[in-house]
Structure 1
Amino acid sequence: MDPTASETFEPSGLNRRTVLRYGTMAGLGALVTAAPFFKSHGAAAATAGGPEPSAPELKLTKFKDPLRIPPVLRPRDRGDHDELTVRLRTADVTVHSEMPPVTMWTYEGVFPGPTIKTVSGRPLRVVWENQLTGNVPVKAVDFGSATGRSPDPLTNYPGTQGTQEVQGVADLPPWAAVHLHGMLTGGGNDGWMENLIGPGDVQLSAYPNDQAATTLWYHDHTHHVSRFSVYAGLAGLFLSRNEEEEALDLPDGARDVPLVLCDRNFDVDESGALAGRLVHKVEMIGPQRLMRVHAAPYTLVNGVVWPYLDVAPRWYRFRIVNASNSRLYRLMLLADGKPVPGALKVIGTDQGLIDKPLAVDGSLNLSAGERADVLVDFSAFRGQALKLVNTLDGVAPGASDKRNDLLEPDVMQFRVADQRPSGRFVLPEVVSPTFKRLTHDDLPHDHAHRWVVTVGPGSTNLPELWEMEEVDPAGITFPSPGVIQVQDAEGTVRTLRRTAMAYDDGKAFTAAHDSVEVWKYLNLAVAPHPMHIHLAHFQVLSRDNYDITGFDRVTRGSAKPIAFKSAGVLEAHELGEKDVIRLGSAGQLTPNSTVGEMITVAVRFPVVGRGVHHCHMLEHETHMMRPLVVSPAAHLHSGGHHH
């Protein structure tokens, strides 16, 4: 396959199924590449907006470069299935016109990688071919003080001054393991993180691709080092469509826009000018050297730093993906510096469309790995410029907050053409008639229960993920290490004992194929954690607030029960089918908070094999990940033995 070639064919005479399956812009197996920077589609010249200075220390002009749309990659028809080859390549990528190209590890030489477009129901086989060269193109550094965190940490700024290099990262060779995040495929095709491919080798993956029309993403999942390999550029989008979605006549073509969000930092040269090298920088706090959540000062959308997009005064569809290592985005749309209430209408979540559009009240809060399918109507803003900003609870939208790594809150700019509104799209009252919200009454009466507890740094100075089992409290002295008591809304107290914590601790959670389980995630830490389950999808049943003052952080167990306080509220993008859910507060400035949270999810296991469940903060990959096995039900009790 020639990645720079494209084929076109006339849609005339094609039936609807053919148009849905192959589209009208590219031939089968073709990669339609985009120029490094080009004028946005869909609008005449706007009368407002334009470049703006960023914080002086960041050295780059905001909104100078247009949003880049990733090229599209379509599979070839092989009869009963489709096929595709995707190459992993080292490439120099332009992320801003005022700085040199950045050396990155990429899929097909672009960042983000090509958007793979498929039709739901067509099985897909992908050859992931490793052609990477050189060691990882990321300089990893850290810094810190024994007296505590800085009010203006070095993570706000480019370069490595005042830091020390993290040993062992610079020599990482280009091994890879590709995970198609959210695809319901067996464990043998899921991109198992220890089944690595080196340069010249290939990963062969077969994807059933029979789930709902949705926005997935693919990224590297190499065990222990994905925080560096994904940061180096190994990420891209995967879209599937079906007839239900097509019948909605949603905004399409140039008005169906992917927004892949991530944050990055860059090195500087001897003169202080930005250099084309990625820097992964973290702050280590106190004498224990506790790692703060990774954050970087430059926001990239589709691989461009603070881009702009020319739009017409019409409806647009945005497929938003948080592809950052750890940063949580609290997104708001501002006009004249003020939030536009209800501007973002959520129509889909991680795993597909929801039943009806839901307006976002406040911010759209996406943790690492989460996606949201959103509609925006620009018809009321002709001739104006709007901003999409990242913000924090307690900080005025669009304002800076250095202490919390928000030196530059702007994400991108929309320039609305000064022309008569056009288009006949009407926001539908029903989006997906086949989607159904689950309740406890919909669950099988014999469904299993799992408990997972996230805890702040322990003896290893790292956050921990505990798998738990319910036990009889008789004979237990409280507090005891790894023993938690939880009191629910009805006053029932359950005693939970830790069964596993480290990745290689003992047996794994084992679920039966096609079963439904209820997982309860309890956060006893200050920081939120995005929890991701492989080989499964789920719906969130509830988000509840808990008093965690009874947790003894020295003993690592509860001195008194962790008690229910109040029911929380699920956000619009949390009401559909999911594969990642944020556990903990969304950007609240409460570093000494004792507010805990419990998330209850109903998990379905439609495929079999060995996978994992973990926190999707990539900096937590080595210590907040556990194996997960899904097995045919008959195998679990074969021969009269329970395995």
Structure 2
Amino acid sequence: MTAPSRRGFLKLAGLALAPVPALAACQGGGVLNPGPLTSTAKLPEPFTLPLPKPTPARPVRTTAAGDHYAMTLKTAEARILPGYTTEIWGYDGTFPGPFLEARSGTPLIVTQTNRLPVPVATHLHGGITPPTEDGFPTDLLHPTGHATMAGHQGGHGMPAMHDPYAHIAEGRRDYRFPMRQRAATLWYHDHRMDFTGAQVWKGLAGMCVVRDAQEGALPLPDGDRELPLLICDRAFDADGRFIYPSTDPTLTRPGMDEAIAGGALGDVVLVNGVPWPYTEVAAARYRLRLINGSNARRYELRLDGPGEGGFVQIGGDGGLLPAPVRHQTLRVSPGERFDVVVDFGQYAVGSTVTLVNTAASGGPGQVMRFHVTRKASDDSAVPARLSDLPKLTPSGAHRRLVFSRNGSRWRINGRPFDPDTPLLRPRFGDTERWSILSVERHPFHLHGAFFQVLGRGAAGPGRYDVGWKDTVELSPGTEVHLAVRFDAYRGRYLAHCHNLEHEDMAMMATLQIT
């Protein structure tokens, strides 16, 4: 397949080339988003609340079919801010949801019961799953006693639609995740069409770590020195409730206030559900599994403490890198994961080290704090060689995608999302070259496969593009070139913007793997 030129493709998509300085960013300060939502609740002083350390959920049983878990999706009252209760929607009524620890090659069977007032669709982000288990946004699990129609009322200027291929369940369903994939940091979240942003904001997200023998043989920090960290932002009203300006608070009819059309940004940063927490660490190496679970906020994370500090990246979205990469700053877009080692042994006992976000100021500029409280022996290490990754060399089709906006409507290749009409039909087993251009800033996320970044514009991959990826940041006015191969399952998947408000406003494309 011969792809049209960049200029020609922009014309086909109904776009005009604009000089990069004239392009609006789509986070804070962009033309569609005047800034973060402002909390009116009394907020705690940063770094005064302890960090919760996730404990792996126990399977209800283990059989030849795999590890079985049960989750009930329900409303609950959570104490997120001191002195307030906040209604959440949670997997098992918790925020974040249960921490899942999976073994590569051992399937997870997760039985979900929906006791919320609305439908849900759970996506295991980073999971290589059959299309029926992937959380396609129209594959809904309805509450018991509610109609199981596959239609949607439409919103954001879109007509109502009916998806004849939707897999609909009522009350309860099993998600079967094969886990035929390497060790990696994943997460799961709601993916309901038109309402993903609002329902994730209410609490429908959780963490999942996949382990395998190859990674387990490495002398990396583990046990109490491994910290999964789900980072997200929220805003709270005077009663301690989440602020999310949907046009219909019942989340029955789609729509959101113009204030968050560019992406919902809160002024409170939560880590594992706690605002600006602290944790005590020994003067030793720690492994931090960083997940950006925010709707729209991107982070530029840096360690602020005595000395140079810094991160040693050992993994990303799709697991271990070939070799460690050192960073002073981590740029993390919504949906991305960074697996890093921090050596707190370089700091004196009694030191404090603050994880800050240099992409923001005030509350959103602070994330969490580490207190180095004691000396400790440390037999961990970061090997110079971590894993062997095959290099993908495209030999199949060359496809172009343009992420754009027409007024207040977000589009891919000039088209809104259509669940039953594929925009792309990749061939199973082929390694394709995808060139993705964005006229604003978007995190691109692919379901059903990992990819490798070949380059940005005429240059090579960026410093954060190493290894297997499923999410990558698109910078304004620059093409990102990817090597993509679907070789696990045939069927229907998605490519979309992982700014959840953009996703809800139809910035998704259906893929049919043939």
TM-score by length of 1: 0.65
Residue of structure 1 equivalent to 2:78:
93
Distance 1:294 1:616 in 2: 12
Q: Which residue identity does 2:390 align to in structure 1?
A: K
The answer to whether structure 1 residue 571 and structure 2 residue 463 are counterparts is yes
Matches within 5 A, 1:297-316: 297-316=267-286
Q: Deviations over 1:96-118 (max 9, x none)?
A: 3x231211001112211111111
Q: Deviations over 1:271-323 (max 9, x none)?
A: xxxx23100259xxxxx989333211000000000000100000000110000
Contact between 2:221 and 2:381, CA under 8 Å: does it hold in 1? no
Distance 1:56 1:290 in 2: 17
Distance 2:135 2:410 in 1: 25
Residue of structure 2 equivalent to 1:296:
266
> What secondary structure sits across from 1:195 in the alignment?
coil
Q: Deviations over 1:251-283 (max 9, x none)?
A: 111111011000000011xxxxxx23100259x
Distance 1:603 1:354 in 2: 17
Contact between 1:102 and 1:277, CA under 8 Å: does it hold in 2? yes
Residue of structure 2 equivalent to 1:430:
385
Q: Deviations over 1:602-634 (max 9, x none)?
A: 112121221211100000012211111112xxx
Residue of structure 2 equivalent to 1:349:
316
CA root-mean-square deviation? 2.4
Residue of structure 2 equivalent to 1:613:
495
Going from structure 1 to structure 2, the CA distance change for 1:629 and 1:226 (only over 3 Å counts) comes to same
- Shifted more, 234-243 versus 511-520: the winner is 511-520
Residue of structure 1 equivalent to 2:445:
532
Contact between 2:453 and 2:466, CA under 8 Å: does it hold in 1? yes
Q: Which residue identity does 2:401 align to in structure 1?
A: V
Residue of structure 1 equivalent to 2:52:
68
The answer to whether structure 1 residue 371 and structure 2 residue 333 are counterparts is no
Larger relative contact order (CA 8 Å, sep ≥ 6): 2
Contact between 1:313 and 1:379, CA under 8 Å: does it hold in 2? yes
The answer to whether structure 1 residue 186 and structure 2 residue 130 are counterparts is yes
2:436 to 496, 499, 521: 521
TM-score by length of 2: 0.80
Contact between 1:326 and 1:618, CA under 8 Å: does it hold in 2? yes
Residue of structure 1 equivalent to 2:68:
83
Matches within 5 A, 1:220-231: 220-231=190-201
The answer to whether structure 1 residue 326 and structure 2 residue 310 are counterparts is no
The answer to whether structure 1 residue 415 and structure 2 residue 363 are counterparts is no
Deviation at 1:407, TM superposition (A): 4.7
Deviation at 1:539, TM superposition (A): 0.8
> What secondary structure sits across from 2:478 in the alignment?
strand
Q: Deviations over 1:366-402 (max 9, x none)?
A: 111000111000012122001000112xxxxxxx64x
State the aligned residue count. Answer: 437
Structure 1 consecutive aligned stretches of length 4 or more whose deviation exceeds 6 Å? none
Contact between 1:281 and 1:294, CA under 8 Å: does it hold in 2? no
Going from structure 1 to structure 2, the CA distance change for 1:582 and 1:613 (only over 3 Å counts) comes to same
Contact between 2:263 and 2:502, CA under 8 Å: does it hold in 1? no
What residue ranges of structure 1 are gaps of 5+ in the alignment? 1-54, 133-172, 269-274, 283-287, 393-399, 467-497, 545-565, 585-594, 632-643
1:627 to 504, 510, 514: 510
Distance 1:204 1:290 in 2: 34
Contact between 2:453 and 2:461, CA under 8 Å: does it hold in 1? no
Distance 2:291 2:385 in 1: 23
Distance 2:56 2:324 in 1: 27
Going from structure 1 to structure 2, the CA distance change for 1:87 and 1:60 (only over 3 Å counts) comes to same
Contact between 1:538 and 1:601, CA under 8 Å: does it hold in 2? yes
Going from structure 1 to structure 2, the CA distance change for 1:363 and 1:56 (only over 3 Å counts) comes to farther
> What secondary structure sits across from 2:198 in the alignment?
helix
Q: Deviations over 1:51-84 (max 9, x none)?
A: xxxx999632111110012332143321242222
- Shifted more, 109-118 versus 212-221: the winner is 109-118
The answer to whether structure 1 residue 599 and structure 2 residue 480 are counterparts is yes
Deviation at 1:435, TM superposition (A): 2.0
Distance 2:363 2:379 in 1: 40
Percent of aligned pairs sharing the same letter: 37
Deviation at 1:598, TM superposition (A): 0.8
Going from structure 1 to structure 2, the CA distance change for 1:63 and 1:218 (only over 3 Å counts) comes to same
The answer to whether structure 1 residue 581 and structure 2 residue 476 are counterparts is no
Q: Deviations over 1:129-172 (max 9, x none)?
A: 2123xxxxxxxxxxxxxxxxxxxxxxxxxxxxxxxxxxxxxxxx
The answer to whether structure 1 residue 264 and structure 2 residue 201 are counterparts is no
Going from structure 1 to structure 2, the CA distance change for 1:185 and 1:59 (only over 3 Å counts) comes to closer
Q: Which residue identity does 2:232 align to in structure 1?
A: C
Distance 1:99 1:289 in 2: 28
Structure with larger Rg:
1
Q: Deviations over 1:394-418 (max 9, x none)?
A: xxxxxx64xxxx554110010001x
